[in-house]
Amino acid sequence: MTQQQKPVAVAIMGPTASGKTAAALAIARNHPVEIISVDSALVYREMDIGTAKPSSQELASVPHHLIDIIDPLESYSVAQFSSDTIRLVGEIAARGRLPLLVGGTMMYFKGLTDGLDDLPTADPDLRARIEEDAARTGWPAMHAKLAALDPATAARLAPNDAQRINRALEIIELSGKPMSELLARRAKPELPFELVSFALEPSDRAVLHERIATRFDQMLGSSDDSGIVAEVARLRARGDLNPNLPSMRCVGYRQSWEYLDGRIDRAQLRETGIIATRQLAKRQLTWLRSMPERIVIDCLGPDPARPILEYLAGLQQ
């Protein structure tokens, strides 16, 4: 199959609060599309408010995929996402519709386009032992240990990035090799479709920060009986979840769990939640800058969907 014969899929990437969902729905009003979610939080059921999940009306207006597919107790890997997405793109194209890959989980995009790593699977016992070491010495000390063993990986991680430092140290102990070396061996795949990537990025980051604060306030709601706090309280009441699960480490959920534990007050919940969301947006923008093939659109412009619609109009000529 030649490049010209491959089906086309369009990606709409961007940091949180950049308007990706609105742009995708605007395109759906003009073209027969199906949306594939590229979001590591939207995969979870029962997590609607803190993930800014599309409303029931929005979900009903256009077919969506990879939303509400697993329980918060479960995990969903980059490998699973890549496999599911390749299958879905083929099925959507066969139905004569345009696959739209919409989201901000850059690790999913990179795994899909750059290939999957050959890293060892997680070892819960080893991971627990590393966490015990960190409890004694602190994560900055563990980061320093990683810097001595794998300086390339340590250089891109914050000293308190517990999850990723733990994983990098785990990989070294399991494989005997630094994570950076294993990632460098990764082979770039040839996708069975042509992916055209648009990135919604802010011309003024301060405005994006204001959007993030506004959206977090909306998620927080006016009291603990509504909004994300009530959502996390319901999840805690199940009795089988804990704050170390990937689902509960999502931005907003982690801070709400701490609030319900009494470790922070409501003002601190708001402050730490907004800060964490801004840090997430910063990481997303850093990932985007490493994708030179993307077509950048100002997400603060009057009509961010227009350049994508113009591209699609050109395809039909």
pLDDT tens for residues 22-52?
999 999 999 999 999 999 999 999 999 999 9
| Confidence grade of residue 300 (pLDDT, cut at 50, 70, 90) | very high
Going from the C-alpha of 267 to that of each of 206, 217, 255, 263, 264, the distances in angstroms are 21, 11, 11, 12, 8
Whether 4 shows a pLDDT value over 70: the answer reads: no
Distance CA 112, CA 106 (A): 10
Kindly list the strands in the beta sheet with 64-65, ordered across the sheet, starting from the edge strand earlier in the chain: 64-65, 33-37, 98-103, 8-13, 194-201, 295-298
pLDDT of residue 152: 93
pLDDT of residue 1: 42
**Where in the chain does DSSP place strands (E)?**
8-13, 33-37, 64-65, 98-103, 194-201, 295-298
Tell me if 41 sits within 8 A of 51, measured CB to CB.
yes
- Three-state secondary-structure class, residue 199: strand
